[in-house]
Amino acid sequence: MTIPFVDNPSKWFYTVVMKRDRITVSCQRCDKSFETRPYLVKIGKGKYCSNRCYWKAKVGSKVKSRGGRIKRICLECKTLFFVWRNQFKHRKGAGNYCSRKCLGLANAKSLSGSGHWNWRGGVSPRNMSTKKYKKWRLAVFQRDGFICVWCGYNKGRILEADHIKPWRFYPKLRFRVSNGRSLCRPCHIKTDTWGGRTKSNKPLTTS
């Protein structure tokens, strides 16, 4: 298509390109003639000249039904409530709880404990940032004089507090100073419990 020379290109774009392949129809509300595209008329649109005529034509017309409401019983609190039929039909899991509160309580039950995807049998991770743990760690270091009890390393930095009887199997001994020992990192790696090596469900017989 050859583009003619015009002083105002935007005016040419509107008068030539935007009006190309247009047809003239009459508004079904006010009988005013207006231009629209043929494909809009083909799919059932292009009936009104403006949004004002469109909404005026909708006055008094029947609104599309949602399928009515049905009775449901909340799975959490057993309360009777109503839900739209099409919402219950098309949305997975909708219509089972009467409120967001009940939905949250149900999710808390189903996603906690053994129902959670990351459940590991109830073994909680060791939190080394608590004051109680830091106090126990310092007490172990002070008792051993900040020296590795295996190799005699005393330079600090890589010195760690190790549980003689594993943290996992002896919860009552977790913060007893007598159950701890000062080890440097290389010696700590040599222990049977380093890095969660204890995979069995039976306590170790370490001394």
48 and 91 fall within a common domain: no
In a domain, 126, yes or no: no
Mean pLDDT of 7-36: 74
CA atoms of 71 and 12, how far apart (whole Å): 61
- Residues with Cβ within 8 Å of 22's Cβ and at least 6 positions away in sequence, in order, are 35, 36, 37
* Rounded mean pLDDT, 64-71: 73
**154 has a pLDDT exceeding 70:** yes
Query: In this structure, is residue 202 part of a structural domain?
Result: no
What confidence score (pLDDT) does residue 138 get? Answer: 94
Look at residue 6 and tell me if it is in a domain.
no
The pLDDT score that the predictor gives to residue 16 is: 62
- pLDDT above 70 (res 207): no
Same domain, 138 and 191: yes
Find where tokens 């003689």 sit: 164
Whether residue 51 is found in the same domain as residue 77: no
Let me know whether 190 and 138 are in one domain. Answer: yes
Kindly state the average pLDDT of the residues 49-66: 78
Range of lowest pLDDT (6-15, 79-88, 138-147): 6-15
* Residue 101, Cβ density class (10 Å: 0-12 exposed, 13-18 middle, ≥19 buried): exposed
144 shares its domain with 183: yes
Q: Let me know if residue 115 belongs to a domain.
A: no
Domain for residue 118, yes or no? Answer: no
Cite the DSSP H helix spans in the chain.
Answer: 9-12, 38-42, 51-58, 85-90, 100-110, 131-144, 185-189
143 and 180, same domain (yes or no): yes
Averaged over 79-108, what is the pLDDT? 83
> Are residue 31 and residue 79 in the same domain, yes or no?
no
Hey, what amino acid is at 75?
L
Q: What's the total number of domains in the chain? A: 3
- Higher-scoring residue by pLDDT: 19, 197: 197
Report if residue 73 sits inside a domain: yes
> Is 206 contained in some domain?
no
**Out of 17-31, 82-96, 125-139, least confident range:** 82-96
Answer whether residue 60 is part of any domain. no
pLDDT at 5 over 70: no
Q: What integer is the mean pLDDT of 49-76?
A: 80
**Mean per-residue pLDDT over the chain, rounded:** 80
Whether residues 30 and 74 fall in one domain: no
- Shared domain for 47 and 100, answered yes or no, is no
For residue range 177-187, what is the model confidence (pLDDT) as tens digits? Answer: 999 999 999 99
- Tell me what the mean pLDDT of segment 114-139 comes to: 81
- Higher pLDDT, residue 17 or 32: 32
- Give residue 86's pLDDT: 76
Whether residue 127 has pLDDT greater than 70: yes
> Higher confidence at residue 204 or residue 113?
113
- 95 and 147 co-located in one domain: no
Q: Which of 130, 126, 159 minimizes the C-alpha distance to 143?
A: 159
Q: Which domain holds residue 43?
A: 15-55
pTM confidence score = 0.41
Instruction: Measure the CA–CA gap between 47 and 144, rounded to whole angstroms.
Output: 90
